[in-house]
A = this chain, B = another copy of it.
Amino acid sequence: MKKAQRTKAKIEQAAFLLFAKRGFHATTMRHIAQAAGVSLGNAYYYFPAKDDLVFVFYENMFALQLQASKRNASRSGKLQVRLQTFLNGYLDAIEPYHELAREVVTVAVHPGSALNPFSKQSRQLRSASKEIFSEVFGDLIADHPLADCLPTLLWLFHLGVTLRWIYDDSEGRKPTIKFVQHSTTLVSKLIQFSRLPLFGGTHKLARNLLKPLMRHE
């Protein structure tokens, strides 16, 4: 491993540890540099801005999502049950980072930033995340007329759930649990309904709406 890579990794690690312990705003670039054993300017050599260090947080979230999807796998034949189990496991896994997520969402949402969930730079993570949905729900949706779109739709749904969770400042996260319960039921019903001939006309619509999110993968 090149020295430069090691230096970069040291900075990433220091940043993530400090973010997790003290929060994003309370952690200064000087803290990170000191913890990583480099100078302030050197940290900026590898990361053009403090915001860019948030990417390590992303990768961590994704890893947790992946682990959770395997640990709490439900093989129920009911889409709603499997969806709810999956999301509850995911939310449990990321719960330790709730406070940090609340701080970080402001940079994640910035349109020009590399960190927003629709950016080119996060494409790889996005694809990998959709892949999880493909694997977990593949057998249930394989015969669906919109089978190719559903992983993207479910990924978008999980983004919405994450947002709901971020905005949930209650103690036990009960509102989010309720939201997951109800929204998974609704989403499952709509997905089932959309197999009916009555919904034939909506397929093209759904496809057109999701198309911009499905390029390049």
Stretch at the interface among A56-64, A130-138, A146-154, A199-207: A199-207
A181 → B minimal CB distance (Å): 9
CA distance in complex: A107, B189 (Å): 35
Contact B107 A112 (CB under 8 A): no
Q: Which of B111, B118, B182 contacts A205 (CB 8 A)?
A: B182
A106-B107, A109-B106 as given contacts; A189 in contact with B201, CB under 8 Å? yes
Q: Chain B residues near A167 (CB, 8 Å)?
A: 111, 116, 118
Q: Which of A105, A112, A182 has the most CB of B within 10 A?
A: A182
Contact B175 A202 (CB under 8 A): no
Least CB separation from A166: chain B residue: B111
Q: Chain B residues near A201 (CB, 8 Å)?
A: 189
Q: Which of B105, B186, B202 contacts A189 (CB 8 A)?
A: B202
Q: How many copies does the complex hold?
A: 2
Contact A186 B202 (CB under 8 A): yes
Q: Is the interface of A mostly helix, strand, loop or mixed?
A: helix
Is there a chain B Cβ closer than 8 Å to A179's Cβ? yes
Contact A186 B206 (CB under 8 A): yes
Contact B105 A109 (CB under 8 A): yes
Contact B202 A111 (CB under 8 A): no
Interchain Cβ contacts under 8 Å between A and B, 20 examples: A102-B111, A102-B112, A105-B110, A105-B111, A106-B106, A109-B109, A111-B167, A111-B169, A118-B167, A178-B208, A179-B209, A182-B205, A182-B209, A186-B202, A186-B205, A186-B209, A189-B201, A189-B202, A189-B205, A193-B198
Q: What are the 4 tightest A-B residue pairs by CB atom distance, in nearest-first order?
A: A186-B205, A109-B109, A102-B111, A182-B208
A interface residues with partner B (beta carbon < 8 Å)? 102, 105-107, 109-112, 116, 118, 166-167, 169, 175, 178-179, 182-183, 185-186, 189, 193, 198, 201-202, 205-206, 208-209, 212
New A-B pairs, 20, CB < 8 Å, besides A102-B111, A111-B169 = A102-B112, A105-B110, A105-B111, A106-B106, A106-B107, A106-B109, A106-B110, A109-B109, A111-B166, A111-B167, A116-B167, A118-B167, A175-B212, A178-B208, A179-B209, A182-B205, A182-B208, A185-B205, A186-B209, A193-B198
